[in-house]
Chains A and B, each alone.
Chain A
Amino acid sequence: MTAAPQPATLRPTDEIEAGHSLWQDAWHRLRKNKMAVLGGIFIILLTIASFVTPLVASDYYKHQNLDLGATPPSHAHWFGTDQLGRDLLARVLYGGCISLSVGIAATVVSVVIGVLYGTISGYIGGRLDVIMMRAVDILYSLPFVMFVILLMVIFGRNIILLFMAIGAVEWLDMARIVRGQVQSLKKQEFIEAALALGLRKRRIILRHMIPNVLGIVIIYSTLIVPSVMLLESFLSFLGFGVQPPMSSWGTLINEGAKSMEECPWLLIFPGLFFSASLFSLNFLGDGLRDALDVRASKD
Chain B
Amino acid sequence: MSDAFLQLQNVKTHFPVERGIIFRRHIGEVKAVDGVSLSLLQGEILGLVGESGCGKSTLGRTILQLVPPTEGAVILAGKNLAQLKGRALRESRADFQMIFQDPYASLNPRMTVFDTLVEAIRAHKTVPSSELANRVSELMKKVGLSPRFLQKYPHEFSGGQRQRIAIARALAVEPKLIIADEPVSALDVSIQAQIINLLAQLSREMKLTLVFISHDLSVVKHISDRIAVMYVGKIVELGPATDVFEKPLHPYTKALVSAVPIPDPEREKKRLRVILSGDPPSPMNPPGGCAFHPRCACAVAECSRTVPGLDNFNAARQVACIRAKEIN
Contacts and interface: CB of A to CB of B under 8 A. Distances in A.
A209 B221 CA distance: 38
A237 B279 CA distance: 66
B66 A200 contact: no
B101 interface: yes
Interface stretch (B89-97, B229-237, B298-306, B310-318): B89-97
Contact of A20 (B107, B111, B146, B156): B156
Contact of A196 (B24, B93, B149, B151): B93
A189 B61 CA distance: 12
- The A interface, classified by DSSP as helix, strand, loop or mixed, is loop
A197 B148 contact: no
A195 B110 CA distance: 17
Contacts of B39: none
A200 B21 CA distance: 31
Q: Bin chain A's interface residue count.
A: 35 or more
Interface in A1-53: 1-9, 13-23
Contacts of B37: none
A72 B281 CA distance: 83
Contacts of B149: 8-9, 16-17, 19
A75 interface: no
B61 to A, nearest CB: 8
B169 interface: yes
A193 B120 CA distance: 10
Interface string B83-111: 00000011111100110111001111111
B161 interface: yes
Interface string B162-205: 00101001000100000000000000000001100110010000
A19 B150 CA distance: 8
A75 to B, nearest CB: 54
Nearest to B198: A5
B124 interface: yes
A10 B148 CA distance: 12
Contacts of A22: 109-110, 153, 155
Contact of A5 (B101, B124, B144, B169): B144
B162 to A, nearest CB: 11
B112 A19 contact: yes
Contacts of B164: 5, 8
Contact of B194 (A5, A18, A20, A194): A5
Nearest to B137: A16
A21 B102 contact: no
Contact of B105 (A7, A19, A190): A190
B201 A5 contact: yes
Interface in B128-165: 143-153, 155-156, 160-161, 164
Nearest to A17: B148
A21 B166 CA distance: 18
Interface in A186-243: 188-190, 192-200, 207-208, 211-212
B123 to A, nearest CB: 5
B268 interface: no
B64 interface: yes
B66 A8 contact: no
A131 interface: yes
A299 to B, nearest CB: 16
Contact of A19 (B21, B93, B107, B152): B152
A169 to B, nearest CB: 26
Contact of B22 (A5, A131, A193): A131
Contacts of B150: 16
B119 interface: yes
Nearest to B94: A198
A135 interface: no
Interface in B1-30: 21-22, 24
Nearest to B164: A8
Contact of B100 (A3, A4, A193, A212): A193
Contacts of A5: 143-144, 164, 194, 197-198, 201
A8 B161 contact: yes
B105 A130 contact: no
27 contacts: A3-B197, A5-B198, A8-B146, A8-B149, A8-B161, A9-B148, A16-B147, A16-B149, A17-B149, A18-B152, A19-B149, A20-B153, A21-B112, A21-B153, A22-B153, A127-B24, A131-B22, A190-B109, A193-B107, A194-B108, A196-B98, A197-B173, A198-B90, A198-B91, A211-B108, A211-B110, A212-B109
Interface of A: 1-9, 13-23, 127, 130-131, 188-190, 192-200, 207-208, 211-212
Interface of B: 21-22, 24, 64, 66, 89-94, 97-98, 100-102, 105-113, 119-120, 123-124, 143-153, 155-156, 160-161, 164, 166, 169, 173, 193-194, 197-198, 201, 222
Given A4-B197, A193-B169, 8 more contacts: A3-B201, A4-B144, A4-B201, A19-B152, A127-B24, A189-B106, A195-B66, A196-B66
